[in-house]
Amino acid sequence: MQKTKTRLYPDCSCCGQRLEKKNEILPGLLQCPKCKNEHYVDLSYDQKVMSLLSEADLKKNASQFNEAYDLYEAIAHDYPTLSEAHMGMFFCSYGIIYKVTDGIERYKPKIHQYIEDIPTENRHYLKALEVTKDKYKKKHLIEEGEVIDQIWRETKPLLKKAEKTKVRKVIPVELPSEEELAESPLIQRRGSRLPEGYKVNPILENKIKNAEVIYLKAGKYGRANKLFEEVLEVDPCARRAIWGKLLCRLQVSDIELLGFNTKLSVIFPLFEELMTCLSKADENIYLNAFEGYLFRKLSSVGVFDEELYNYIQEWKKKGEQKVLANKLYAFIKTLLEDEKKTSIDWLHTALSKATEFDQVENQKLFMTKYVEIAQDLNALELYKDALELVEAVIASDPKNQDALLIQLCSTYKVPKLSDLHTVLKDVKQIKVFEQLIDSGYKDLDIFDELRLAAVDLIEQKNYKTATALIDLFIAKLPKGNDEALVEA
């Protein structure tokens, strides 16, 4: 099977569209085929950075500005010279999203949040200029800043008036909801056996250390387990001893060495005993170890351990559960960009878990994530799986053009639209064309494919099918494209 190409550039920050080499209009300058915005790029982007930027852009474009800001801030911390991260924080500060504008081909910025400061005096914008060394890219950022300044001046009175009506709502939005703070029955048991002011006896602590170093690391699990049990007879709350017993049960000295065929459910009772000895104020390093195993298993052997994932979530508050779900989604994206991945039997279950909160709370974001994964699957030539995802989106949003475009490519089994004319030999699946065109899709690329396919068919003397494609071209071509119509 043909593997997906390694990404060269981040996705379009304005609309999320994948940017490719073919979108280059000048060396180092790309134009997004969807929103028509231009991006100055270089070839030094790390694959991880591009995935992180895509995740942050996704949040921003879904109006989740606080969450997106946090992601951009984390990226800027690790990559301080990355102008895209600083611009992301700038956009989130003003609630800037690029939208379709009547009469203008390019998506234009729209400001959704009121801030008194002039945009081009914002510290994040100025930092983006400071770290940008390419003179053309800097000039582009300056020109875009001037456009945003003008929009800010025009919309400032309305934004300020709208902000006044939201003053009483600001605090509840910033605070976690009662639902997100609610504790599950498992969480309520954390620390329930722990005496006030508890500290482990230094002699027992030394005995635990001996069990770990002398026996556990040497693979002598029986002897190590005996020492751990002796400690627990004296101090039932010695959690390192309970964790040691757990490792002995798994027959490993460290959970990072655990094989991927092991069912962790066998040690859940021991883990629950351990949690009763762990204060809610302490970092749950043991649950973190389970999370690490979950992701290593998915990455290494292509198995999503749904039972373990559900168990981990039971130990988290709802807000924390959402964080893990988003982490899983980002991990799925990373796996699909790995050229070595060929099996995705795990995908549908994992994606369902990664988007379960979005499906209930934010349908738009839920569908965006499904479309994004379907796009990756189509690029991997996993057409059946891509179709399954976009059909779920189209069932809820029949006019979703991104989903309809992927449906068209997957139906005809081509990784990208520009290959469509090479396989378009009949009109059996013509309905998928009509669905896309009838959704209001106006880009001429699809009509170019119809025309090229008709030319190929004429050369092959298949006049009947060629005529059918030309008829469809003429019937559906948007008004105002007389040259294309005459050529057809």
Quick check: helix, strand or coil at residue 97? strand
Q: In the prediction, which pLDDT does 169 show? A: 31
Q: Rounded to an integer, what distance in angstroms lies between the CA atom of residue 377 and that of residue 393?
A: 15
Quick check: helix, strand or coil at residue 314? helix
Nearest to 68 by CA among 95, 44, 48: 95
Rg, the chain, Cα only: 28
Q: In the prediction, which pLDDT does 58 show? A: 87
Write out residues in the chain with pLDDT < 70, as ranges: 1-7, 43-44, 102-104, 157-183, 338-343, 479-488
Q: Rounded to an integer, what distance in angstroms lies between the CA atom of residue 18 and that of residue 12?
A: 6
Q: Rounded to an integer, what distance in angstroms lies between the CA atom of residue 290 and that of residue 263?
A: 12
What would the two tokens of residue 31 be? 């134009």
What would the two tokens of residue 453 be? 């396919």
Q: In the prediction, which pLDDT does 160 show? A: 58
Q: In the prediction, which pLDDT does 170 show? A: 31
What would the two tokens of residue 121 be? 């005096």
Q: In the prediction, which pLDDT does 171 show? A: 29
Q: Given its phi and psi angles, is residue 116 left (phi above 0), alpha (psi -120 to 50 degrees) or beta?
A: alpha
